[in-house]
Amino acid sequence: MQLAEHETFRRELERAGAEVLVATDESVAANPDAVYVRDPVLVAPGGAIILRPGKPARRNEPAALEGDLAAAGIPILGRLDDPATAEGGDLMWLDPQTLVAGRSYRTNDRGIDALRDLLPGVAVHAFDLPHLRGPGDVLHLMSLISPLDADLAVVSLRLLPARLAQELAARGITLVEVPDEEFDSMGTNVLALGPRVALALAGNPETERRMREAGVDVRTYQGREISTKGDGGPTCLTLPLLRT
């Protein structure tokens, strides 16, 4: 069932015009978290940064992706070393010169400082994330916000850091608010397939309605095995290497 869901998910990406590359390193085959390829790597202008996950059980995933990145022609800009930690789910580009970082139980100050060193010319803005259910739970920055276009994002406004909400407002970014009852079912975890074209986990009808009302073409997939069980939506399942 898991493989069938993943194949269907990949077909949705291909239907949107994406070239889909599947990571092949067997060293992480027994690790169910390895399907969430967003977290081990940050793709930046000019190449990729190999991250160091805050979850110890995921520390072998970054090295496992390096071969696939090399095969795709993506240069490595640098790596995070102990004690720095950062996970890709805590990192979001506002524009090519502005990176937002969530300070969380998975991403620490050392990791954010290391990214600043590795990305000269990029403004890295850090925001503290809420405690919510504590260090044993998965709460990334992108658990709270997903961009849908340059001027549109879907958010859990109640949990969004106030300074980040102010920054989005200053940039003229409209927010589609996810209702509280659809937060746990990953209403905020939405993958932009293009400007105002979104792929979302099925089962959040009010969030879908609000996105469509904002002019978004919403497509859904069934992800009981690949998303719901591991608490990882479509952004977690993908690592965009190049957007055209």
DSSP-assigned letters across all residues of 33-84: GGG-TTTTEEEETTEEEE---SSGGGTTHHHHHHHHHHHTT--EEEE--TT-
Rounded Cα distance between 20 and 99, Å, is 25
199 in Cβ contact with 16 (< 8 Å)? yes
Quick: pLDDT tens for 151-175.
Answer: 999 999 999 999 999 999 999 999 9
Evaluated on CA atoms 76, 118, 82, 130, the torsion sign reads negative
Residue 197 pLDDT level (bands cut at 50, 70, 90): very high
Q: How far, in Å, are 65, 72, 88, 121, 137 from residue 78 at the CA level?
A: 14, 17, 15, 15, 28
Mean pLDDT of 226-244: 93
Beta-sheet pairing, 98-103 with 91-95: antiparallel
Domain with CATH 3.75.10.10 in the chain: 1-22+140-238, 40-136
Radius of gyration of the chain (CA): 17
Residue with the two structure tokens 């100050």: 109
Whole-number pLDDT of residue 78 = 98
pLDDT digits (tens, 9 = 90+) for 52-73: 999 999 999 999 999 999 999 9
How many other CB atoms are found less than 10 A from the CB of residue 116?
15
> How far, in Å, CA of 127 to CA of 125, rounded?
7
Q: Is 158 helix (H, G, I), strand (E, B) or coil?
A: coil
Domain 1-22+140-238 has CATH 3.75.10.10: yes
The reported pTM is 0.96
Burial (CB < 10 A; 0-12, 13-18, 19+), residue 81, is exposed
* Encoded tokens for 32: 């169910």
CATH superfamily name and code, 40-136: L-arginine/glycine Amidinotransferase; Chain A (3.75.10.10)
The pLDDT of residue 159: 97
**Percent of the chain topping pLDDT 70:** 100
Q: What whole-number percentage of the chain has pLDDT above 90? A: 95
